[in-house]
Amino acid sequence: MAESAQQHGSAQQHGSSQQHGSSPQHESPHQHESRQQRAHGGAGGRRIAVVGLGTMGAGIVEALARHDLAVVGVERDFESLRRARARLAHSLDRAQGHGQLDPPAREDLLARLDLGTDLAAVADCDLVIEAIDERMDAKAALLARLDTLCPPATVLVTNTSSLSVTELAAGTGRPARVLGMHWFNPAPVMRLVEVVRTVVTDPDALAAVVSLAEAAGKTAVVAADRAGFIVNALLFGYLNNAVRMVESRFATQEDVDAAMRLGCGHPMGPLALLDLIGLDAAQAILASMYEQTGDRRHAPAPLLGQLVAAGLLGRKAGRGFYTYAAPDSGEVVATGARVATGAAAAAGGAGSGEAGPPVRTVGVVGSGTMALGIAEVLARSGHEVVVRARRPDAADGVRARVQASLDAAVAKGRLSERDRDGAVSRLRATTDLGDLGTCDLVLEAVVEDLAVKRELFTDLDKVARAGAILATTTSSLPVIDCAMATSRPADVVGMHWFNPAPAMRLVEIVPTVLTGAPAIAAVLGLARAAGRHPVRCADRAGFIVNALLFPYLNDAVRMVEANYATIDDIDTAMTVGCGHPLGPFALADVVGLDVTLAITRSLYEQFREPAYVPAPLLEHLVRAGFLGRKAGRGFREHPRR
């Protein structure tokens, strides 16, 4: 199935290339549908106009007409109108071919359309949507013209993804009745519409626009007029941050994309998504947002500009961050080249061909959920596993807890009884750190406290055999600090597993500046042998996933603080508009607001980026004990388990 940019959250605009600010043209009877045949039809007698019938405008016309709304569509000239009709016919042909539209329904839909080149045709419509080029001067001129043509009660709507609705409204004589309505591409398919209010918006006009979106079968979310609205404001900072990761050789584009797909459940990684949106469109949206916000995170990454200048615009050009089989193809072809990194990033790639020392026996330090989840995964994959717990009662419970998890997998048909029994036989528990002395690799999964981890690594250095690898599961602490607590920093590496370990396929491999190639190769091999997908990155706060995810969560909290949008609308925008499995507030409640705060603080402490300062609302909720699902209340209330 072909994917659109908007199926993954992009806000690319495909407005008509024509302008509508000049005097209306007269059309011939053969070039304009008969208005008498379709006057005042459709749901509730409402007539809607769409001015500009490029890809986006034609899609809006189709989306409205599919839901029994009478639509007037206007283009600048007859050639543009011809292309619009062809575009609409092609889309309807596809829908009919897929069984989504039968011939009678198609005829009924076409009968509700009044397409032409006379701008004056919009004068008797209840609501007019402009969908022309994403240029302030062009949109302002068109809205001013519509203001003179339409009665005072008519609501005027701009379909913009990045321009100031307030500025556009101020150029008319009815600013209270001018709103934004950001549709997503392709409009007939995408369910989300962002309705953008200004500080002077008439509540009745807002209600009319929300009602129209719902009548067209869309999910409407309401946002204040600020750069990027909801989706772009959250999405493009994240995308730009991902570009900077690749630009700085912190990680490869393949590893960044895999990390966000497997670690966060996103339908596409950020670099693949940028290729789908179009790098030129993304650069333009970021530039517009930066002009409005002055936030350096919205300043387009230099690498983005270099790719655009080179004509590497993404899928539509056949090459962007990835190389594709042909222009407009979604098939990625391997070329051996890597954008901005030459042969390999300084952080390396997950595909290193060097073989490391074999890892047959693994020691796991800790007896919490993460430690036992990792132990289960490794035992299932054929490794001998020794779990070290601090207390005898914890050690006694290790096998029982792992067996319970394995039994559940058997009951669900995901594991055979034979494999379960084999895994249990390869697992043993101890309270003696010295019992880890024969292990090939020792992995700690204790509390996320640097002092505790450093003390543990000092002790492990004394008991582990020569050549054994020492790994930390930290998600936010510097791996180098753990390495320097030992006499063998070349053998220390980060191995960040995700919770729940038996279900999550991603493992971030984090070498330090002192980690040796054999240790890196060994943990990469161990992760693959355990059926996990390893991605490699440099030792920097947040690694890949957290460094991209938590600034995004913090930005969402700031939106609510500023009364910019509601928690529900923001979560809806990111799930419906971007295909994320959870919205930012639902996700923060799952992660834990205390964890979210701690990781956000660690990012700020390392990068000193003002935007990474934890949102005050997040701090206040944590102080109040509202920690998310585990506490029964976070951003939302949750039933106690």
Domain that holds residue 24: 5-224
Residue in 476, 508, 580, 602 annotated catalytic: 508
Tokens of 376: 């289960």
Tokens of 370: 């993460």
Q: Which residues contact 467 (CB under 8 A, 6 or more apart)?
A: 357, 491
Q: Looking at the domain assignment, is residue 205 inside a domain?
A: yes
State the DSSP string of 25-67.
Answer: PP--TTSS--HHHHTT-BGGG-EEEEE--SHHHHHHHHHHHTT
Q: Are residues 375 and 519 in the same domain?
A: yes
pLDDT at 502: 94
* Contact between 238 and 270 (Cβ < 8 Å): yes
**E strand or H helix at 136, and its extent?**
helix 136-149
Please choose, from the candidates 217, 170, 181, 161, the residue with its C-alpha nearest in 3D space to the C-alpha of residue 5: 161
CATH assignment of the domain containing 143: 3.40.50.720
Q: Looking at the domain assignment, is residue 331 inside a domain?
A: no
Please choose, from the candidates 44, 82, 91, 37, the residue with its C-alpha nearest in 3D space to the C-alpha of residue 63: 91
Residue in 496, 554, 580, 602 annotated catalytic: 496
Q: Which residues contact 191 (CB under 8 A, 6 or more apart)?
A: 217, 218, 219, 576, 577
Q: Are residues 204 and 276 in the same domain?
A: no
Cis peptide before 500 (omega within 30 of 0): yes
Enter the pTM of the model: 0.86
Please choose, from the candidates 456, 513, 442, the residue with its C-alpha nearest in 3D space to the C-alpha of residue 485: 456
* Contact between 144 and 166 (Cβ < 8 Å): no
CATH assignment of the domain containing 624: 1.10.1040.10
Please choose, from the candidates 449, 603, 493, the residue with its C-alpha nearest in 3D space to the C-alpha of residue 541: 603
Q: Is 448 a catalytic residue?
A: no
pLDDT beneath 50: ranges in the chain: 1-44, 341-352
Q: Looking at the domain assignment, is residue 85 inside a domain?
A: yes
Give 330-360 pLDDT, tens digit per residue: 899 976 556 654 334 444 444 445 567 889 9
Residue in 80, 288, 381, 475 annotated catalytic: 475
Q: Are residues 286 and 385 in the same domain?
A: no
- Among 224, 242, 277, the domain-final residue is 224
- Among 317, 343, 369, the domain-final residue is 317
**395-422 burial code (b ≥16 CB/10 A, e <16):** bebbbebbbebbeebeeeeebeeeebee
How far is CA 142 from each of CA 51, 117, 160, rounded to the nearest angstrom? 9, 14, 13
Q: Is 475 a catalytic residue?
A: yes
- Taken in order 525, 529, 535, 539, the sign of the CA dihedral is negative
* Contact between 92 and 62 (Cβ < 8 Å): yes
Q: Is 405 a catalytic residue?
A: no
Cis peptide before 502 (omega within 30 of 0): no
Q: Are residues 526 and 572 in the same domain?
A: no
- The Cα–Cα gap between 330 and 499 comes to 31
- The Cα–Cα gap between 230 and 222 comes to 9
Q: Is 496 a catalytic residue?
A: yes
Residue in 80, 161, 185, 546 annotated catalytic: 546
- The Cα–Cα gap between 236 and 228 comes to 8
